[in-house]
Homo-oligomer: A and B are copies of this chain.
Amino acid sequence: MQNNELKQIVKNADSAINQENFDDLMDFYSEDAILVVKPGMLAKGKEEIRRAFEAIADYFNHSLIVNQEKMEIIETGDTALVIAKALLSANQKTDSEFSMERIATYVFKKESDGVWRCIVDNSYGAELLE
């Protein structure tokens, strides 16, 4: 189940997060995308998602690094489910160092311009059930 185009898109989005390049980052999201900021807290639409990423960057004292270690993609038609092992680390967080692995779930949609964009960004994966 390989889709190298989508894997590259996810990697490019990670680079944009890691460089805090939020203008570029927003291009990876669909207009009505949803980001799970944390369980029970959603950001909907580019404006809210951008503000959430700015708050996350502040929280991690601008040292957050996100990297997908492994991805599986199930794609059909204009929809793709991406299951990923994501490693998050932040070495400058004020009160403590931070490193964690998450099993994330993303849904991508190929939009009318032929570009895959993220429509659901749930880096918490199944933690939502806890």
Q: Which residues of A contact B (CB under 8 A)?
A: 1, 30, 32-34, 36, 42, 44, 70, 72, 74-77, 79, 81, 83-85, 103, 105, 107, 109, 119-120, 122, 125-126, 128-129
Say yes or no: B42 contacts A74, CB within 8 Å.
Answer: yes
Residue in B72, B75, B84, B120 whose beta carbon sits within 8 Å of that of A81 in the complex: B120
Instruction: Please measure, in the bound complex, the distance between the C-alpha atom of A42 and the C-alpha atom of B34, giving whole angstroms.
Output: 27
Say yes or no: B76 contacts A125, CB within 8 Å.
Answer: no
Main secondary structure of the interface of A (DSSP, over half): strand
> A1-B42, A42-B1, A107-B107 given as contacts; is B76 within 8 A of A129 (CB)?
no
Say yes or no: B125 contacts A126, CB within 8 Å.
Answer: yes
Q: A46: shortest Cβ distance to chain B, in Å?
A: 12
Say yes or no: A74 contacts B120, CB within 8 Å.
Answer: yes
Instruction: Please measure, in the bound complex, the distance between the C-alpha atom of A30 and the C-alpha atom of B125, giving whole angstroms.
Output: 24
Which residues of B sit under 8 angstroms from A76, Cβ to Cβ? 32-34, 44, 119-120
Which residues of B sit under 8 angstroms from A79, Cβ to Cβ? 79, 107, 109, 119-120
Known: A81-B107, A126-B126; 11 extra A-B contacts, CB below 8 A, are A32-B76, A70-B129, A74-B122, A74-B128, A76-B120, A79-B109, A79-B120, A83-B125, A103-B126, A105-B126, A107-B107
